[in-house]
Amino acid sequence: MAAARPTNPWLILLGLALGVSISNAFGRFAYGLILPSMKSSLGWSLTQSGWLNTANSIGYIVGSILTLLLIRHFSPSRLFASGTVATALCLLATGFDESLVFQTACRTLVGLFGALSFVSGGVLAASLFQSHARKNALAIALYFGGGGGFGIALCGATLPTMLDAFGPQYWDWAWIGVGLAALVICPFSVWASTELNETEHDAALPSIPPVRRMLGQLGGYALFGLGYIVYVTFISVWMKEQHSSVLLTTATWMVLGFSIMASPFVWRGVLARFSSGMPLALILSGVALGSALPILVPSGYGLILSALVFGLSVFMPPTAVTSFVRQNVEQPDWGATISFFTVIFAISQALGPIGAGVIGDITGEIGDSLVVASAVLLVGALCAAMQKPLIREAAKPS
């Protein structure tokens, strides 16, 4: 893939990363902050609450597959721009009807268009600094973590206070506010993508990834999708059940956002050192610990520490998978292999929220689902730890 040289690559990267604020932070994580108010006002069960993020994940599956088909015929910049704007509009629409059917449709479309934006934006970010390997790797990591962390911190700083001041019945205005914030960001993100609108893309049919030789890494990534989404969806519901203050909720989500922003710098040494599944194993161990800490240390300190540990790890598995593929698979097969990982992740992610909701309804305690999620993540870490390099050191692609 070749791209025209932009005059302001770091500014363009900022615009692309802010697109992740829309597709991931607003599109996926904000639901966890608004959910307690929606659940209280609309009388939802935990299963119904989990279902909406499962619907979002189903949309993400469809969007991921759709992106892989469309990117052979349309430029990544066009897909990124259309996906980002459509995600913002669907977020805004979420505040206009309380019916479960309408909410399901909105969450599904947010997932679909969010995947279109996120995946194609990753292609654009990877086209920056191609002649400088370290800058290129940093750009990809900052794309995944920087914009998402900023969006989560922004939501954490505003939504809990707003809903506490006006009451849970104003959950619809929270979504309208999120949608308007996304629309404000859109022009900058669209501009960034148009600066890379001459990016070429490979129209060749994808090759078949070496699945049998990557079962450890695939298993780890699948269990990551199944486990991490439980914390994202239900941590605020659990905090409300524990009568946590608005200040603590705000602080927890802001720490989560800022630690996500810092995570690329924490893990880049580990990612560069290993060509096996060890980076993913270590990262999943961090996600597992962060998920369990609210239950293991049931206090405000435990929640803040949980947000810190979880945030420093949760956005890094895609980077770990990308690094693994780049070091172990021939360059012409990178796209197809990473895409295969993405689809596996998306399918497993769809099962997590509704499964956690069912467990919470059966036991009467959503904290039990956090513990189960932590155990799932630890199994994923074990799977990844068993993954060996696919090729010998001397044969790695540069």
Q: Which residues of the chain have pLDDT under 50?
A: 1-4, 199-201, 203, 393-398
Q: How far apart are CA 272 and CA 259, in angstroms?
A: 20
H helix count then E strand count, the chain:
14, 0
Q: Please tell me the predicted confidence (pLDDT) of residue 336.
A: 67
Q: Please tell me the predicted confidence (pLDDT) of residue 254.
A: 92
116 CA to centre of own chain: 13
Q: Please tell me the predicted confidence (pLDDT) of residue 354.
A: 82
CATH number for region 9-198+210-390: 1.20.1250.20
Q: How far apart are CA 175 and CA 379, in angstroms?
A: 35
C-alpha dihedral (304, 309, 315, 319), degrees to nearest 10 = 160
First CA to last CA distance, the chain? 16
Phi-psi map region of 318: left, alpha, beta (phi>0 left; psi -120 to 50 alpha)? alpha
pLDDT digits (tens, 9 = 90+) for 93-148: 999 999 999 999 999 999 999 989 988 888 788 778 767 767 777 787 788 888 88
Q: Please tell me the predicted confidence (pLDDT) of residue 208.
A: 65
Mean pLDDT for all residues in the chain: 86
Kindly write down the DSSP assignment for every residue of 284-353, as one continuous string: HHHHHHHHHHHHHS-SHHHHHHHHHHHHHHHT-HHHHHHHHHHHHS-GGGHHHHHHHHHHHHHHHHHHHH
| C-beta of residue 58 within 8 angstroms of C-beta of residue 350 | yes
Q: Please tell me the predicted confidence (pLDDT) of residue 46.
A: 84
Q: Please tell me the predicted confidence (pLDDT) of residue 368.
A: 85
| C-beta of residue 234 within 8 angstroms of C-beta of residue 51 | no
Q: How far apart are CA 165 and CA 167, in angstroms?
A: 6
Q: Where are the domains of the chain?
A: 9-198+210-390
Task: Please indicate, yes or no, whether the overall pTM of this predicted structure exceeds 0.95.
Answer: no
